[in-house]
Amino acid sequence: MKTVMITGATSGFGEACARLFSSSGWKVIITGRRQARLDLLQKELGGADKAYSCCFDITNRDAVANAFDNMPEKFSEIDVLVNNAGLALGLEPAYETDLDDWEKMVDTNIKGLMYCTRTVLPMMKQRGQGYIINIGSIAGNWPYPGGNVYCATKAFVRQFSLALRADLLGTGIRITNIEPGNAETEFSMVRFKEDELRADNVYHNTKALTAEDIADTVLWLANTPEHVNVTTMEIMPTEQATGPLATYRRDK
């Protein structure tokens, strides 16, 4: 039975991935900052035998190291790491943004992903196999007004993933960067700091991706043969296009 570790598993893509991998027979390590949500999800997934709950903040380098060092033996051989934890904050132009928001996006989307990746890589290299799936964004390819630092952090995820592919040739370790477009999760509620009206307007009269759509993709990737590496995968809803990230909206 293989083991997957999913960061940011308390909502959105991460939570959907945890449910899908668990129902497909995987052992699951779920991480996040909200212990109560982790507890509920662990119970839903079948308890401690099937899911290991690990509450820590990926922006804390020592906390990341401690989490990996204290992993139960049953879950210690991680076959797949899904670097899902991330966030966007605000949609103001660069001259009006909150520097604290910028720093939090850098700390989470870049540093947290780096810490988890660097910690798991030696374990995977020693075993001669492993898979790291990073959740990037089309924002790393297609900038938009107000995206500023969020777009920059996701461009980092893309380039870091490509650079890892170059570093890891011959190790048996695979790397994929998934780049979702509009997806209706808690993402916009976090971005707009619980402003439900602004968050709902993002998806008004359009059909966005769901968390389950991305989870299906992650599981498919994890089940591809070991000689196959999908380097990047851009996924948009049918009603969204590239360039200015135009979104089709129905009249009703």
User: What are residue 96's phi and psi, to 5 degrees?
Assistant: -120, 0
Torsion of CA 238, 243, 247, 248, to 10 degrees: -70
| Full 3-state SS string of the chain | CCEEEECCCCCHHHHHHHHHHHHCCCEEEEEECCHHHHHHHHHHCCCCCCEEEEECCCCCHHHHHHHHHCCCHHHCCCCEEEECCCCCCCCCCHHHCCHHHHHHHHHHHHHHHHHHHHHHHHHHHHHCCEEEEEECCHHHCCCCCCCHHHHHHHHHHHHHHHHHHHHCCCCCEEEEEEEECCECCCHHHHHCCCCHHHHHHHCCCCCCECHHHHHHHHHHHHCCCCCCCCCEEEECCCCECCCCCCECCCCC
**Catalytic residue check, 150:** yes
Catalytic, out of 52, 150, 203, 248: 150
Question: What are the C-alpha distances in Å from 60 to residues 88, 97, 172, 176?
Answer: 18, 24, 29, 24
Quote the CA–CA distance of 116 and 83 in Å, as a whole number. Answer: 8
Q: Which amino acid is at 168?
A: L
Catalytic residue positions, numbered: 150
